[in-house]
Copies of this chain bind each other. A is one copy, B any other.
Amino acid sequence: ESRGYPYVMKTRKFGYDGYGNMTIKKKNNALVGWKRFTSGEAPRELMAEEFVDFSKELAVMVARNRRGELALYPCSETVQRNHICHTVVAPAVVADDVQQQARDIAVKAVEAIEGVGVFGIEMFLTSEGEVLFNEIAPRPHNSGHYSIEACYTSQFENCIRAVLNLPLGNPNLIAPAAAMMNLLGERSGPGVPDSVVEFMKHDKVKLHLYGKKDSRVGRKMGHVTALGDSADEALGAVTAAASDLLW
């Protein structure tokens, strides 16, 4: 607290989708956060991080097998809404050296923990063009879902290859660009959209429904992915298609 406000209070582990972190703007917030995270049966260890006024959020998926072989996915840009991943565009529309910085950081992070499997490394891009490590998700990750259709080998297949110590598959994009949009529940109701007929008229867009029994506001119910000749084209396609799904 001697370093001033705002800062971010985080649980060291098991945070996701905004759970397990809180922006502390004044001393009173800190007490609320402290209570929220340390009460309950299993009090959690906390850390404090400087608040980063980022211009973009970046993510890189990395697969690593026991022999230390790596498959490095493109650096993508992720957009969160209410702390939940909303869209992912790959590759991120950033300068080449930013792509490279992000991929270097991702490799260092996975090698530092000698990780085996698939990892999502989340980063901030500051307005000065600096890339800062944020968090590591030790598993197939929302920021890599686009890889199912858009890459020669998906994050899921490479996760299995990695833990079996098999040669890793090609993580590169099949098309120039891809975009993914999460489908978030808009009400309490059934876990399937009212109709997919209008959605199906959208060309080149793939629908994934997670088969959850019920939808709730903000709950991840599925996602859509599109390939494109550019990030804009792919993002336009998923945006238009997702808007034709009625929940």
CB of A96 within 8 A of chain B?
Answer: no
- Of residues 186 through 203 on chain A, the ones whose CB sits less than 8 Å from some CB of chain B are 196-197, 200-201, 203
Asked if residues A166 and B204 are in contact (CB atoms below 8 Å), the reply is no
CB of A152 within 8 A of chain B?
Answer: yes
In the complex, what's the smallest C-beta–C-beta distance from A74 to chain B, in angstroms? Answer: 16
Pick from A38-46, A85-93, A136-144, A169-177 the stretch touching chain B.
Answer: A169-177
Asked if residues B204 and A161 are in contact (CB atoms below 8 Å), the reply is no
Complex copy number for this chain: 2
Residues from chain B with a CB closer than 8 A to the CB of A196 are 166
Chain B minimum-CB-distance residue to A198: B167
- Of residues 57 through 103 on chain A, the ones whose CB sits less than 8 Å from some CB of chain B are none
SS of A interface (majority): loop
Asked if residues B174 and A227 are in contact (CB atoms below 8 Å), the reply is yes
Residue in B152, B166, B169, B203 whose CB lies within 8 Å of A170: B203
Residues from chain B with a CB closer than 8 A to the CB of A204 are 152, 170
Residues from chain B with a CB closer than 8 A to the CB of A201 are 167
Tell me the count of chain A residues lying within 8 A, CB to CB, of chain B: 15
Residues from chain B with a CB closer than 8 A to the CB of A197 are 166-167
Chain B minimum-CB-distance residue to A205: B152
Known: A174-B174, A175-B174. A167 touches B227 (CB 8 A): no
Residues from chain B with a CB closer than 8 A to the CB of A227 are 152, 174
Residues from chain B with a CB closer than 8 A to the CB of A152 are 203-204, 227
In the complex, what's the smallest C-beta–C-beta distance from A78 to chain B, in angstroms? Answer: 24
Within the assembled complex, what's the spacing in Å between the Cα atoms of A170 and B237? 14
Minimum-distance CB pairs A-B, first 3: A167-B200, A170-B203, A167-B201
Given contacts A152-B204, A170-B203, 7 further A-B contacts (CB under 8 A): A152-B203, A161-B200, A166-B197, A167-B197, A167-B200, A174-B174, A174-B227
